[in-house]
Amino acid sequence: MTDTLPPKSPDREGLTSPAGASNHRPSGMGDPSAIRGLAPTPVEGNPDAPVLRVTNLTRRFGDITAVNNLTFEVRAGEVLGFLGPNGSGKSTTVSMILGLVRPTSGNVELYGHDVQRNPEVVAKSAGAIIENPAFYPYLSGRDNLRTFAKALGGVSDARVDELLELVRMKDRAGDKYKSYSLGMKQRLGIALTLLQNPGLVILDEPTNGLDPAGQREIRDFIPELARNGHAVLLASHLLHEVENVSDRVVIIRRGEMIQQGRVRDLVRSGGVIEVMVQPDEVAPAVDLIRRVGGVTNIQPGAEEGGIIVSAEPQVGRDINRMLAGQGIFASAVAPKANTLENVFLELTQGSAPGEQESGRRKRRFGRG
């Protein structure tokens, strides 16, 4: 069944349809006319299918299984956070979504089309930055976008200029790409992902190299993309960034999905208790807290002497009693609002999102 797929009404509060997209201008972004152009270009396909559907996706490299039986989907108007430690299979998954890497088994569908059988659907409906933006160093920013616009076909020079305006690169658009800062390269990469108004936008570390103002702009911009009807797959090491802008998250580890769900539900799912002790008492305190029933994970706190314990709030009393019984008097044992970072660290057993899975970070002293 093939129909022209209209951009779906996004499933979130305060949204506008793509037709009304011009009323919403992300803070810090450029000309509103560029925003109007952000509504995804309709793609032939199954109108009931999600923009992206990944089914039982597996990829093996020799004896190593990089991605194992991964299944998830992203619908129009949704931002899906895609999390996992380095080496967990995120880039391999994204490469399979884009048809750059062949799955060993399973499949990827864009608008109901298998990307291996219909590679042109990727060009029409997916825009991505994988790891770092890559462009031709001898070309200007504008000519780089024009090159990819020509490769895609049907993308006008006016559209290129709109996007340069949107990412605030118009003033430097004539300069050679090799003269750009990392932040400018990142902005150009974001413009590239939007060149053909793709239904699926994949952003891998989109704020990498941006100053705080630039990071804020991108954070504001991602939900705006979703409001305009795009499906966004966001991979980032900055978990608070993912927490703020994502509707749902998928967390993978060693190529396997270990959790997926709505951010709100995941954050609510477990309690967190912050324990403050003297810095030289952290190690014995951790050993004692491990013995307390109901404790599921222990991580270092942000402050010196801080310990973050994953447990229901009532367990705090038991922790306090255990520590005091061994002569360690905590200055604070208090329930704390859970964060996606805590959830992630608990699920990945202490692997920081930017850490190689093969290694173990020094800070890790939790269970498992």
Partner 1 sequence: MGNLLNAEIFKAVKRPATWIMLVILALIVAAFYAIVYFAVDDPATDLSLRPTEIVNNGYAIGANIASILVIVFAAQLMGSEYGWGTIRALASRASSRSALIVSKLILLAGYTLLTLVVTAAVAIISALVFSAIAGNETSIPGDAWVDYAQAIGRYMLANGVYAVLALVITILSRSTAAGIAGGIALSFLEIAIWEILAAITDVFQTIREYFLGYNVQGLAAAATDQQVDDFDITRGVIIVSVWLIALLAISFYVFRRRDITSG
Q: Is 117 in the site for partner 1 (CB under 8 A)?
A: no
Q: State both tokens at 271.
A: 């309690």
- Dmax over Cα atoms in the chain, in whole Å? 73
The residue within the footprint of partner 1, chosen from 39, 122, 200, 292 (CB under 8 A), is: 122
From the DSSP assignment, how many helices (H) and strands (E) are in the chain?
12, 16
Helix (H, G, I), strand (E, B) or coil at 70: strand
The residue within the footprint of partner 1, chosen from 49, 101, 258, 332 (CB under 8 A), is: 101
CA 330/CA 342 separation, integer angstroms: 21
> 59 pairs with which residues across the strands?
67
In angstroms, give the least distance from the CB of 45 to partner 1.
17
Q: Is 157 in the site for partner 1 (CB under 8 A)?
A: no
In the bound state with partner 1, the residue whose beta carbon lies nearer, of 188 and 266, is 188
Contact 41, 233 (CB under 8 A): no
Among 13-21, 114-122, 264-272, 295-303, the segment contacting partner 1 (CB under 8 A): 114-122
Distances 334 to 271, 283, 292, 338, 364 between C-alpha atoms, Å: 11, 19, 16, 12, 21
In the bound state with partner 1, the residue whose beta carbon lies nearer, of 177 and 221, is 177
CA atoms 184, 214, 127, 162: torsion sign: negative
Q: Is 135 in the site for partner 1 (CB under 8 A)?
A: yes
CA 242/CA 343 separation, integer angstroms: 12
Q: Is 130 in the site for partner 1 (CB under 8 A)?
A: yes
CA 213/CA 326 separation, integer angstroms: 48
Contact 231, 201 (CB under 8 A): yes
Q: Which class for 114: exposed (0-12), middle (13-18), buried (19 or more C-beta within 10 A)? A: middle
In the bound state with partner 1, the residue whose beta carbon lies nearer, of 167 and 273, is 167
For partner 1, how many residues bind (rule: CB under 8 A)?
30
The residue within the footprint of partner 1, chosen from 150, 240, 268, 360 (CB under 8 A), is: 150
Q: Is 323 in the site for partner 1 (CB under 8 A)?
A: no
The residue within the footprint of partner 1, chosen from 12, 105, 136, 334 (CB under 8 A), is: 136
Contact 74, 80 (CB under 8 A): yes
In the bound state with partner 1, the residue whose beta carbon lies nearer, of 149 and 345, is 149
In the bound state with partner 1, the residue whose beta carbon lies nearer, of 232 and 298, is 232
| Residues 59-98, mask of contacts with partner 1 (x by CB under 8 A) | ------------------------------------x--x
In angstroms, give the least distance from the CB of 242 to partner 1.
23
Query: Which residues of this protein are in contact with partner 1, per CB under 8 A?
Result: 95, 98-102, 119-120, 122-123, 126, 128, 130, 132, 134-139, 143, 146-148, 150-153, 192, 196
